[in-house]
Amino acid sequence: MNEKEIAAAAANSSEGLISRRDGLKLVAAGMAVSLLPQTSRSETLGESVQSPHSERKREPMSSYIKVGQENSTPIELYYEDHGSGSPVVLIHGWPLNGASWEKQTASLLAAGHRVITYDRRGFGRSSKPAVGYNYDTFAADLDAVLNTLKLTDVSLAGFSMGTGEVTRYIGKYGAKRVRKAVLIGTLGPYLVKTPDNPEGVDRSVFEGLKAALKADRPATLMEFLRNFYNYDVTGGKLVSERVLEDNWNVAVGASAIGTLACVDAWIEDFRQDIARNTVPTLILHGDADRILPPDAASRRQAKMIKNARFVELKGGPHGVLWTHAEQINSELVKFLA
């Protein structure tokens, strides 16, 4: 096969992959939420130590932290630790990884912060166990990161699903290590409609999303990402098709079990955790968010935190880390100074 034939074959293969985007509709009643589930925490949590894993190629300025064990396999979190100064830990959303903070990482480093990102279990370069996809475990994983890196006086910033880690960590472990908190596209306080939570969403919405993921995970993830960025409005202006493709590649590379299990985690009740948050808190949310509409999430949560600054981003979709990066970065740098 000559070079032209090889190039043509590669192009045909790429087109076949990209055509899988036309998938199942995710957003029902304006809700589909971005981020993890309630499965049994059956792994044995070990002491938080960096795993040697000599057989795995390690990249400069990166490493792994062991947070548990599943049968014969250690459960490890991939993390990156850059810069110096006041530490900031960035916790990503579903179904992406720590690299989704690229625009914020650059800005925070330039402002003189030490910036730590990590991939949640099941996602990115972290281990992909079949267990532990609930917020008590996620908060324990975050605690392992803070303990292993000996971080104190730290600012915790979560996006979408990552806001659950921040909120549950403070609720469970307290704020002795925490200087400030940032919640971007938050999923709290409680998403499910119940007699004492009439602002919530019917549970059938989340069951529908799980059914879609089971039927065709790749197609469902692409449709989710289109709504994540409001691509019909922002496409070619605030976000490119290449960004969608890159995000999709990350998403389909995540654990299929973890991706599905996450949906149950999103609908955990964070109201008691929020009540324990006494640290200065910045809440940022797009006012055009189709995944987590502010009426169901941030506007309610902002009223529950005494020391909160709430900023809505005009025209912002859910994926504001990319589409509204300048505004996000400006608010972050000011707040974390």
Q: How far apart are CA 176 and CA 93, in angstroms?
A: 25
Q: How far apart are CA 262 and CA 221, in angstroms?
A: 13
Q: How far apart are CA 206 and CA 201, in angstroms?
A: 9
Q: How far apart are CA 121 and CA 100, in angstroms?
A: 15
> 113, 285, 318, 324: which is the annotated catalytic residue?
318
Residue 1: both structure tokens together: 């096969």
Q: How far apart are CA 229 and CA 246, in angstroms?
A: 13
Tell me which amino acid residue 230 is: N
Q: How far apart are CA 323 and CA 287, in angstroms?
A: 13
> 92, 126, 289, 324: which is the annotated catalytic residue?
289
Segment (H or E) for 18:
helix 3-18
289 is catalytic: yes
Sign of CA dihedral 206, 212, 214, 220: negative
Half-sphere exposure of residue 333, counting CA atoms within 13 Å on the CB side? Answer: 16
113 is catalytic: no
107 is catalytic: no
> 160, 255, 273, 324: which is the annotated catalytic residue?
160
Catalytic residues, by residue number, are: 160, 289, 318
